[in-house]
């Protein structure tokens, strides 16, 4: 029996779509499309029509979500039973996530136990971003929405004969490089670098300054992962056979990174028209996504699972009853409606009057006003996390990126970052000091990283009820 999957991705503003089928061990690419302006629903209609399957069921559609919007975290916990892992992940959420857990959606996956410990990959993103993305796809009704970078690792495994060893899989599009850490053949961390193919290509060959930027991004990604040194990892650059990929691999090898090129095998996919490794490379993300749909893997990092389940439940509740029942019922209701409304209104007025009579003399209006004022005061004193993050973002100097923001009740807010320009640290401190609700800004723990040639730093400050001054003021009020 032939199984079909339709897959659509959007990377760097470009929509890519494919229709793939599998019968036994044979994979077939039936159609592919790309556009910079079509939109999800339009390109879905185009790709299914071009494949001769205009009536293809929506259950075949898999959509990719660009994980450059997703934050990844790695935990290492003691080896426990599978049912206990969920509780351990839940306990870590508040400390890890930049926003309260109720504003974030997470998906996680555990590695096999090793030396008495289990590694866990956590993907997290703001719920409102996922809900907005899901609304964009409302007309297409995809069966699943999965991470595009996880699809890249899937394609590398199958089409480049990628191994299950720990590997950094690098895939370049025109504008970006997608750095994907693969553990046992599964995505463990994804980072998007702003160095793309056009930044690396020059008339004379490789642009080495930009290749060095990419090398630094790979090193920082591995250092953040914290499992060995960057030199311990194997770097695999996916290629369709372009010379620039070989030159990049040579440069990274010379810089101390163990790098190789992984050539896509076009013979693994059949097609009615001639198909080259370059053709596969250009549509690699949706091809990998289609492969995930054909395998129907249940162990992916599915950030949309809760939202999708809620939408399905909502559709079931809102189903319209059969016309055979609803039409006669509607005619009957039109006849009885005026009389029914008069009866309902009379009954409501009677109940309201009775309730007021019961309460008369028992309610202290002044007390209600006082309680309401207290509630408003409490609400006004709650720190707005989104407002605080917005203030911090407005203070970051141009070209700089923070590593993290930490905050806990009754403790100062902590900012960590790294920079190649020490003056940027002072500029960030001065910008924070100018803000209305930020006090006592301190720069701590400046440390030079000789290998990366950057300065790591920590900044703390008091913000509303985060910090010492807020605690002191509350004690004085008490």
Question: Tens digit of pLDDT for each residue in 221-267?
Answer: 998 887 667 888 999 999 999 999 999 999 999 999 999 999 999 99
All structural domains of the chain, each given as residue ranges with its CATH number in brackets, are 385-477 (3.30.1360)
Query: Is the pLDDT at 330 greater than 60, yes or no?
Result: no
- pLDDT tier at 332, thresholds 50, 70, 90: very low
pLDDT at 369: 54
Give the tens place of pLDDT for each residue, 340-356. 444 444 554 454 455 44
Q: What is the pLDDT of residue 193?
A: 93
Distances in Å between the alpha carbon of 186 and those of 59, 177, 220, 396, 444? 25, 18, 20, 34, 38
pLDDT by residue (tens digit) across 357-370? 544 444 455 555 55
- Give the Cα separation of 278 and 189 in Å (integer): 26
Residue 142 in contact with residue 61, Cβ under 8 Å?
yes
Which pTM value belongs to this model? 0.65
| Summary mean pLDDT of the chain | 80
**Mean pLDDT along residues 306-320:** 58
Cβ atoms of 207 and 200 within 8 Å: the answer is yes
In sequence order, the 6+-apart residues with CB closer than 8 A to the CB of 299 are 109, 186
User: From the DSSP assignment, how many helices (H) and strands (E) are in the chain?
Assistant: 15, 20
pLDDT in tens, 135-180: 888 888 888 999 999 999 999 999 999 888 889 999 999 999 999 9
Percent of the chain at pLDDT exceeding 70: 78
- Who has greater pLDDT, 189 or 374? 189
Angle at 44 between CA 38 and CA 50, to 5 degrees: 100
Task: Determine the average pLDDT of the residues in 187-208.
Answer: 91
Q: What is the DSSP string of 28-43?
A: EEEEEEEESSS-HHHH
pLDDT at 289: 95
In the prediction, which pLDDT does 205 show?
A: 87
Residue 334's contacts (CB-CB under 8 Å, 6 or more residues apart) are none
pLDDT in tens, 70-95: 999 888 888 888 778 888 888 787 77
User: Given this model, what pLDDT does residue 138 score?
Assistant: 81
Q: Which of 14-18, 76-80, 197-201, 403-407 has the lowest mean pLDDT?
A: 403-407
Q: Residues 6 or more apart from 210 whose CB is under 8 A from it?
A: 195, 199, 200
pLDDT of residue 472: 40
Kindly state the tokens that stand for 316.
């079931």
Residue 14 reports pLDDT greater than 60: yes
Identify the pLDDT of residue 311. 58
């Amino acid at each position: 029996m032939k199984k079909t999957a339709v897959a659509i991705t959007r990377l760097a503003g470009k929509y890519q779509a494919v229709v793939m089928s599998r019968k036994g061990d044979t994979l077939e690419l039936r159609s592919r499309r790309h556009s910079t302006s079509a939109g999800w629903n339009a390109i879905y209609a185009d790709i299914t029509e071009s494949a001769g399957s205009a009536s293809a069921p929506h259950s075949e559609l898999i959509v990719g979500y660009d994980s450059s919007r997703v934050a990844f975290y790695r935990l290492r916990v003691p080896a426990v039973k599978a049912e206990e892992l969920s509780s351990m992940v839940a306990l870590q959420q508040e400390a890890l996530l930049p926003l309260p857990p109720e504003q974030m959606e997470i998906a996680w996956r555990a590695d096999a136990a090793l030396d008495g410990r289990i590694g866990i990959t956590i993907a997290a993103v703001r719920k409102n971003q996922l809900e907005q993305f899901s609304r964009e796809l409302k007309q297409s009704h995809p069966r699943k929405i999965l991470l595009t970078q996880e699809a890249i690792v899937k394609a590398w495994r199958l089409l480049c004969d990628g191994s299950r060893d720990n590997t950094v899989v690098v895939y370049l599009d025109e504008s970006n490089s997608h750095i994907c850490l693969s553990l046992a053949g599964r995505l463990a961390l994804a980072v998007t670098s702003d160095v793309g193919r056009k930044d690396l290509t020059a008339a004379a060959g490789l642009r080495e300054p930009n290749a060095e930027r990419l090398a630094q991004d790979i090193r920082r990604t591995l250092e953040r992962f914290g499992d060995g040194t960057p030199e311990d990892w194997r770097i695999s650059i996916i290629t369709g056979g372009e010379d620039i990929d070989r030159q990049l691999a040579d440069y990274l090898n010379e810089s101390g990174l163990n790098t190789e090129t992984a050539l896509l095998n076009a013979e693994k996919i059949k097609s009615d028209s001639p198909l080259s490794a370059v053709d596969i490379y250009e549509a690699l993300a949706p091809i990998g996504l289609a492969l995930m749909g054909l395998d129907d893997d249940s162990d992916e990092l599915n950030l949309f699972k809760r939202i999708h389940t809620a939408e399905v439940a909502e559709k079931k509740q809102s189903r319209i009853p059969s016309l055979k029942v609803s039409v006669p019922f509607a005619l009957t209701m039109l006849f009885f409606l005026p009389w029914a409304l008069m009866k309902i209104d009379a009954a409501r007025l009677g109940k309201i009057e009775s309730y007021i009579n019961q309460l008369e003399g028992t309610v202290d209006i002044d007390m209600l006003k006082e309680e309401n004022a207290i509630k408003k005061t409490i609400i006004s004193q709650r720190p707005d996390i989104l407002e605080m993050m917005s203030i911090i973002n407005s203070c970051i100097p141009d070209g700089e990126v923070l590593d993290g923001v930490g905050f806990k009740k009754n403790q100062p807010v902590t900012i960590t970052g790294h920079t190649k320009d020490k003056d940027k640290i002072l500029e960030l401190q001065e910008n924070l000091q100018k803000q209305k609700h930020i006090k006592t800004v301190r720069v701590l723990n400046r440390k030079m990283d000789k290998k990366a040639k950057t300065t790591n730093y920590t900044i703390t400050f008091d913000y509303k009820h985060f910090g010492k001054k807020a605690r002191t003021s509350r004690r004085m009020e008490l």
